[in-house]
Structure 1
Amino acid sequence: MLKSTIKLFFLCNILIAQGDTEVYIFDLISNANNYSINNPINISNNDGYDNQPSFMKNGRSILFSSTRNGQTDIVSYNIRSGKKTWLTNTDGSEYSPQQIGNSKTFSAIRLDKDGTQLLYKYSMYSNKSSVLIPKLKVGYYAWANKNQIYCFILGNPPTFEIFDLKTEDKIYIDDQIGRSIHDNNKNNFVSYISKQNKDWTINTVNKKSRETQILTNTLSRSEDLNWITSKTIIMGKENKLYQYELSRNSGWIEIADLSKYGLNKISRISVSPKKDKVAIVVEKN
């Protein structure tokens, strides 16, 4: 039992594996719903781990996790000025920042030095923080509304659950899922990656009925995606980007090859609110 628990701990805590990564932003160009990218800018430009970009609701700034003084903190990058502002300065390391609604607060996963891993709420303008979900070790998450968070909960086995901040109720949805969890508000669902079978799938859970369904297969053994529109998915595999149109059902279409910029091993992807920018995490050469 001890061996299996240790194995599970290392498998599930992928988010804290410190790779040498960078965050780039590109212009996202649409031509009759056929997308392309250009004008790459390295916004992290930092040795060590830089990851989990998330656009602010105003589209003018991006939050991401970045290595500083031997740990990982949250930084805000202003797209127009190129200025970086560090937002956290705790004894622990923070990951996966997301603005909470339109407020001047954001959430992030904190990993403390004693191994405690919890989801916190932070002020944008001070180092004040408070625990959002006590006792549950959140690995990945997405906000569905101001009260409900869809979470990958680390455990044996790890599970996909909805946590209600008002009632503190938990609702089990699934297990054996990936790290890409995204709200698709127009379609009233949250998408996630199912790894139940050999061929991974992009699944949805209806926010009202809690019913799940399969949308399509992922690119083989890939799990990083986001929504450009309510009907268009963008996904990375190795050095290439692809789009998938739900309305066309035409399969995955390649839209960009990042190797021409000297970039490869795409992971996290974030799309700006105006759909004119995309942030992409790549491994440093």
Structure 2
Amino acid sequence: MYRRFFITLFTYLICIPQLIAQGSFDLIAVDLKKQTGKWTLSINGVEKITDRDLYDNQPAFINDKQMAFSAADDKGNHDIIIYNFESRKFTNLTKSADRNEFSPSLTDCGLYVSAVTVEPDGKQRLWLYPTNFGEPELLYDDIEPVGYYDWYDNKAAMFVLGKPNSLVYPDSKSELHTIDKNVGRCIKKRPKSSTIAYLDLDKMTESNGHKSYSVVGFDIEKREYIDFGMSLPGSQDFIWLDANTLLMGIGNELFIRKIGKEGWESLGSVEVVGYQNITRLAYSEPLKKLVVVMERKKE
């Protein structure tokens, strides 16, 4: 049933070979909740959302029961798929034979799912896909190639590919503010704030062969930079569980860190036979569900 939702053609991944490798990935859901101030991961609540030898990746919750993600069919075409946790059904938001969509996210207004779209001529720009399945709209025609992004005040802070990569924010139609350069691929707004967080790849330490980078926040309203400490060594993907808690993973293990504290605390491991290497993450507080992307082991 699941395979019927996927359509036509593509042979590369988002034009960022240094950040994304071709491979087979699935979405794994686990129960995660906060009780009496402590985050608890349930090892009994592990569930495979997808189960294909293809690319299912980049999850993002869009409401209290649905999640969007980017998925490839067997010809290599990538579309945005919506998964409903109540009905356990999949639905195509996009079915684009001539283009490919990645990195879905709900816009601030809630009327669109945005996605980085690789267009027929190779341009990589941010598009808006109406949640009522209407016609898509190009958001910024002159900002590209976009790799990753997140939303604040109905505008997108965007990771733009270059040498080095840069993080930009459109203050207005005519003013594009460069927040920083040489940043990591993970761009996340801090909850209940006007701050966009990212990894500064110029500020790095190394321990036991694993690199750790400075997690930096830029407050768009105050125009101030905030030091959130160092990332988990060996990982570049993070999310906020709340305004003061970061979550990252390495191997099969998940770690959290409170802002203002140095050490990362293990939450436990996500053990699924045939899978390894947690990368991207998404969390729904209403569902108490954490979705992780894991790589299929090669046989």
- TM-score if structure 2 supplies the norm length? 0.84
- For each residue in 1:80-102, what CA deviation from the matched residue of structure 2 results, as whole angstroms up to 9, or x when unmatched? 11100001012111000011125
- Are residue 255 (structure 1) and residue 261 (structure 2) matched? no
In structure 1, the residue matched to 2:294 is: 282
- Residue 244 of structure 2 corresponds to 231
2:67 equivalent to 1:67: no
Q: Which residue does the alignment assign to 2:101? A: 94
1:20 and 2:33 are equivalent in the alignment: no
**Partner AA of 1:40 in structure 2:** V
Percent identical among aligned pairs is 28
**Matching residue of 1:79:** 85
Asked whether the equivalents of residues 47 and 67 of structure 1 are also in contact (C-alpha less than 8 Å), the reply is no
Partner of 2:258: 245
Paired AA for residue 39 in structure 2? N
Question: What SS does the aligned partner of 1:202 have?
Answer: strand
Q: CA shift at 1:43, angstroms?
A: 1.4
Alignment partner, residue 5 of structure 1:
none
- The corresponding residue for 2:10 is none
Cα drift, residue 170 of structure 1: 0.7
Per-residue CA deviation, residues 183-222 of structure 1 (Å, 9 max, x unaligned), is 1142431111111133211111112122213211111131
Letter in structure 2 aligned against 1:67:
A
Q: Would you say the 8 A contact 2:30–2:41 is kept in 1?
A: no
CA distance in 1, matches of 2:38, 2:242: 9
**Which whole-Å CA distance do the structure 1 matches of 2:204 and 2:20 have between them?**
25
Match of 2:232 among 219, 233, 239: 219
Q: Which amino acid aligns with 1:265?
A: N
Query: Structure 1, residues 225-266: CA drift from partner, whole Å, max 9, x if none?
Result: 10111111111112110010125x151001111236553211
- Equivalent positions of 1:49-64 (< 5 A) are 49-56=55-62, 58-64=63-69
The Cα of 1:149 is off from its aligned counterpart by 1.1
Which residue of structure 2 aligns with residue 203 of structure 1?
Answer: 216
Q: Output one character per residue of 1:38-96: Cα deviation in whole Å (capped at 9) or x when no partner.
A: 3122212223111110001x310000000124211000000011100001012111000
- The answer on whether the counterparts of 1:25 and 1:41 sit within 8 Å (CA) in structure 2 is yes
Q: State the number of aligned residues.
A: 273
- Report the equivalent of 1:6: none
Gaps of 5+ in 2: 1-13, 206-212
The one-letter amino acid of 2:288's match is D
- Residue pair 1:35, 1:255 contacting (<8 A) in 2 also: yes
Alignment of 1:25-44 (within 5 A): 25-31=29-35, 32-38=37-43, 39-44=45-50
Structure 1 residue identity aligned to 2:47? I
TM-score by length of 1: 0.88
- How far 1:127 moved relative to its partner? 5.5
User: Does residue 139 of structure 1 match 2:144?
Assistant: no
Kindly report structure 1 stretches of 4+ aligned residues shifted beyond 3 Å: 10-17, 259-263
| Matched residue, 1:47 | 53
Asked if 1:188 corresponds to 2:201, the answer is: no
**SS across alignment from 1:223:** coil
**Aligned twin of 1:103:** 110
Residue 270 of structure 1 is matched in structure 2 by 282
2:132 counterpart residue number: 125
Output the amino acid matched with 1:28: L
Specify whether residues 13 and 120 from structure 1 end up closer, same or farther in structure 2 by C-alpha distance, changes over 3 A only: farther
Amino acid at match of 2:129: Y
What is the rounded CA distance, in whole Å, between the counterparts of 2:267 and 2:275 in structure 1? 15
Residue type matched to 1:160 in 2? L
Q: CA RMSD in A?
A: 2.2
- Cα 1:262–1:29, aligned 2, differ >3 Å: closer, same or farther? farther
Residues in 2 aligned to 1:203 and 1:275: alpha-carbon distance in whole angstroms? 29
